[in-house]
């Protein structure tokens, strides 16, 4: 019911942190209880959320962000102590990031499509309660990172209000 924080509207929010939207939604989030634990991440972790090619229409720019744009954003933040945690619905993007940056963290054992250009799996394969738990677990993990490189995404939006101190690296 909260369309003002989804789709392209979220892109406007990402550019206007001064509106206090992250703190307001964080207050609402904190009233919820949950038992899902995030994955462990190291200090100085860059969280990365990569969207499927099919979702370019949800972006303010009307296009999906090329992996090279993610890489450029990550390289600006990298130090010898930085680790990377990637959330992606496809194997191709994970492999690309691992080839570019070496070992990366990601949720293992999840259902993923082979390629970024494939239709999103949750549209073509019935999902289970366990699938939903894993998505929340990934969001909670992104919220524990130091930085989040992301396009418009409900998962990004949630991570940003779960942790209002998370540094947003918005890729329009």
Q: What is the pLDDT of residue 126?
A: 85
Contact 47, 85 (CB under 8 A): yes
**φ, ψ (nearest 5 deg) of residue 84:** -130, 135
- The per-residue pLDDT for range 56-93, each reduced to its tens digit, is 667 677 788 999 999 999 999 999 999 999 999 999 99
| Per-residue confidence band for 148, with pLDDT thresholds at 50, 70 and 90 | very high
Across 25-32, average pLDDT: 82
Does residue 29 register a pLDDT over 60?
A: yes
pLDDT of 35 above 60: yes
Radius of gyration of the chain (CA): 15
- The arithmetic mean of pLDDT across residues 12-21, rounded, is 91
Q: Which helix (H) or strand (E) holds 49?
A: strand 45-50
The torsion region of residue 149 among left (phi > 0), alpha (psi -120 to 50) and beta comes to beta
């Amino acid at each position: 019911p909260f369309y003002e924080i989804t789709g392209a509207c979220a892109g406007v929010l990402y550019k206007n942190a001064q509106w206090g939207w992250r703190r307001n939604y964080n207050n609402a989030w904190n009233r919820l209880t949950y038992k899902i634990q995030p994955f462990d991440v190291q200090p100085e972790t860059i969280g990365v959320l990569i969207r499927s090619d099919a979702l370019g229409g949800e972006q303010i720019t009307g296009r999906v962000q090329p992996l090279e744009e993610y890489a450029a954003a990550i390289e600006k933040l990298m130090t010898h102590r930085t680790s990377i945690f990637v959330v992606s619905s496809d194997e191709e993007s994970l492999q690309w990031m691992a080839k570019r940056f070496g070992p990366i963290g990601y949720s293992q054992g999840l259902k993923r499509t082979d390629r970024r250009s494939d239709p999103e799996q949750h549209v073509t394969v019935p999902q289970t309660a366990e699938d939903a738990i894993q998505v929340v677990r990934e969001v909670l993990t992104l919220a524990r990172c130091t930085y989040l490189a992301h396009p418009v995404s409900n998962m990004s939006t949630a991570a940003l209000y779960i942790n209002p101190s998370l540094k947003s690296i918005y890729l329009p």
